[in-house]
Amino acid sequence: MYKIETLNNGIKLLTAPLKDTKSVTVLVLVKVGSRNEEKDINGISHFIEHLLFKGTKKRPTSLDITKELDGVGADYNAFTGKDQTGYYVKVAADKIELAFDIVSDMLLNSSFKSKEIDKERGVIIEEINMYDDNPLLSIDNLFEKIVFKGHSLERDIAGPKKNIRKITRKEILNYYNKYYISSNVVVGVGGKFNKQRVNKLTNKYFKEFKKKKNNLKIDKFVSKQNKLRVNLKYKNTEQVQVALGFPAYKINDPKTYPLLLLSMILGGNMSSRLFMEIREKRGLAYSIRTALEAHEDIGAFVVFAGLDKSKIELALTTINNELKKVVDSKVTSDELTRAKDFIRGKLILKLEDSSNLIQYLATQRLFKNKVDTLEEQLKKIDKVTINQIQGVAKEIINLNKLNLSVIGPFKDKNIFFKYLKK
């Protein structure tokens, strides 16, 4: 059973033991991401994530860090989102202190050398280029620019290249010192470990985190959309990438459970409505899926698809018709049962891994006061009714709140308004 506690310096510690594993994952989540950035430094959260791997006083270079981790066969990485940044090391259970040592050293003692900052600018710019050149990777960013229009949530996590070229070391240090504070941090430990030892290691290695009260407030997003919006990016491709979706619920809204099941029924797997209708029956797409995005104050429900450019009209009108159907008519009891069973199976398989488990729980702790276990989550999913699913469908799927992003060989976005209003 997991345990939540707060250390003397304000750091939140979450431990989650797993019986049948020989590994342990040490994860640190910091409650900061691209939504916290001013426009002229957009990309700085992700920049800092990169820089924490570039050397400390104890480990002066990135090679010094990676050699130690590679030497024990560790799995390690970091990630930046809209509202969090994470760093993790997964090792054999007997190497737990090494994981604590390295993660804390990176977070607390990074050098931020000017030479490394300048070198990393080029790396990040190439990462941005990689996303820009690949419609499959960049369609999500294009969708967020329209569904969260006018808010910091619309900005790319990596930022624009012009920002990366000019962000200064002083700006990096100021931002780091503002957000990398104890009250903004969750340390998660999942897998095989001794609880008493974990407490000692946490106090030993994370005691230097600045004890500073977090008075930081997010600029909450409120959707004021009242008409269909289209965001078009021209690219001479054979396949058209589209993202079609609506504003949805925040991360701790109870309606996320019926929306999750609706998403599964529509496009969550290879037996879902959209997959069967769009790909199997009509051959209009290679890939089609639904996804949910959830933040502290808002979320989004999205259909992603890679479509045949010559049949774009038929594909979009078919997707639109399937969305209308689920609003007008209730899902079947068989569909609901299969969706619940699918989610149950996927969650059980996913949370058998120590890194997945601790990220799942720690993310909840970062944004919610209560952390639901797997069993508690599954109970909430099991309680969802057909009527609740139709209720959220009617609430979310609304043409006046529809956002469509398209990457493909099209220059006139007006044609897409025509397709979707049919």
Average pLDDT over residues 162-185: 96
pLDDT in tens, 396-407: 999 999 999 999
Q: How far apart are CA 268 and CA 129, in angstroms?
A: 30
DSSP-derived 3-state class of residue 352: coil
pLDDT band of 422, cuts 50, 70, 90: low
Lowest-confidence region among 13-22, 26-35, 182-191, 206-215: 206-215
Query: With contact defined as beta carbons under 8 Å apart, do 250 and 295 qualify?
Result: yes
Q: What is the pLDDT of residue 215?
A: 67
Q: How far apart are CA 374 and CA 326, in angstroms?
A: 28
pLDDT of 147 strictly over 70: yes
Query: With contact defined as beta carbons under 8 Å apart, do 168 and 51 qualify?
Result: no
Question: What is this structure's pTM?
Answer: 0.96
| List 37, 38, 49, 68, catalytic entry | 49
pLDDT of 368 strictly over 90: no
Q: What is the pLDDT of residue 10?
A: 87
Average pLDDT over residues 136-140: 96
DSSP-derived 3-state class of residue 75: strand
Q: What is the CATH number assigned to the segment(s) 229-420?
A: 3.30.830.10
- Among 86, 79, 82, smallest CA distance to 26 is for 86
User: C-alpha distances in angstroms, 221 versus 82, 151, 153, 256?
Assistant: 13, 7, 8, 17
Residue 49 is among the residues annotated as catalytic for this protein: yes
pLDDT band of 248, cuts 50, 70, 90: very high
Question: Which residues 6+ apart lie within 8 Å of 108 measured at CB?
Answer: 206, 208, 209
Q: How far apart are CA 200 and CA 196, in angstroms?
A: 6
Q: What is the pLDDT of residue 283?
A: 95
pLDDT in tens, 264-286: 999 999 999 999 999 999 999 99
User: C-alpha distances in angstroms, 30 versus 126, 187, 250, 383?
Assistant: 25, 9, 19, 33
Q: What is the pLDDT of residue 211?
A: 76
Average pLDDT over residues 301-308: 97
* Residue at 350: amino acid letter: K
Exposed/middle/buried for residue 99 (C-beta within 10 Å: 0-12, 13-18, 19+): buried
pLDDT in tens, 35-55: 999 999 999 999 999 999 999
The structural architecture, per CATH, of the domain 3-206 is: 2-Layer Sandwich (3.30)
User: Looking at the chain, which residues constitute the CATH 3.30.830.10 domain(s)?
Assistant: 3-206, 229-420
Q: What is the pLDDT of residue 212?
A: 72
